[in-house]
């Protein structure tokens, strides 16, 4: 049964992660005109809606927030994002697969070879994490930034394949 408890008085922190971009030159099938490097710190917050079976596996809702730095050629930008997530995994949160859709804000949208069209981006993500040792985990996250033609049809987004080192609270 889905638990629809009232939100907690204070947010419940699930994990802190440091992420680094690795590889990937395509934007969902289209070649990016510019190669970007990216690093960020993410905080994942537990939301109160969850459902777990007797096996200890189930669904949970979360919110992923992050702040990071994106660099392309000679230009850099601060990137802030917030994405609600639906996570499937173990009740303790150590084995998890999640996906979500939210928003990202870039401090710069024009780079040497690529124009994102505007500062606000839609963000789509899929991630997986596994335990390494005690409360430390290793993960992979795919992030896709797009304007969904909000700024016109001649803009292009960016894809980031990222590895993550996480600490679970």
Residue range 97-123, pLDDT digits in tens? 999 999 999 999 988 888 888 999 999
Where residue 76 sits, what CATH number does that domain have? 2.40.160.20
For residue 33, the model assigns a pLDDT of 74
In 3-state terms, what secondary structure has residue 117?
A: coil
Q: Does 4 map to a domain?
A: no
Range of the domain at 54: 12-22+36-168
Q: Does 114 map to a domain?
A: yes
Length of the chain: 169
Residue range 144-162, pLDDT digits in tens? 988 888 887 777 788 899 9
Q: Does 3 map to a domain?
A: no
Q: Report the predicted TM-score, pTM, of the whole model to 2 decimal places.
A: 0.87
DSSP states of 130-143:
EEEETTEEEEEEEE
Q: What is the mean pLDDT of the chain?
A: 88
Q: Does 27 map to a domain?
A: no
Q: Total domain count for the chain? A: 1
Contact status, residue 17 vs residue 132, Cβ threshold 8 Å: no
Q: Does 29 map to a domain?
A: no
Contact status, residue 105 vs residue 120, Cβ threshold 8 Å: yes
CA distance 70 to 61: 27
């Amino acid at each position: 049964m889905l638990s629809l408890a009232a939100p907690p008085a204070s947010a419940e922190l699930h994990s802190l992660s440091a992420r680094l971009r690795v590889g990937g030159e395509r934007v969902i099938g289209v070649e990016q005109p510019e190669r970007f490097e990216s690093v960020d710190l993410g905080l994942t917050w537990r939301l109160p809606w969850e459902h777990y079976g007797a096996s200890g596996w189930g669904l949970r809702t979360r919110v992923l927030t992050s702040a990071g730095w994106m660099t392309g050629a000679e230009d850099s930008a601060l990137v802030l994002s917030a994405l609600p997530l639906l996570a499937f995994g173990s009740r303790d949160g150590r084995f998890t697969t999640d996906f979500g859709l939210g928003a990202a804000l870039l401090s710069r949208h024009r780079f040497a070879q690529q124009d994102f069209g505007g500062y606000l981006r839609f963000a789509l993500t899929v991630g997986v994490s596994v335990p390494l040792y005690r409360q430390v985990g290793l993960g992979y996250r795919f992030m896709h930034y797009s304007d969904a033609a909000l700024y016109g049809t001649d803009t292009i987004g960016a894809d980031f394949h990222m590895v993550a080192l996480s600490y679970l609270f």
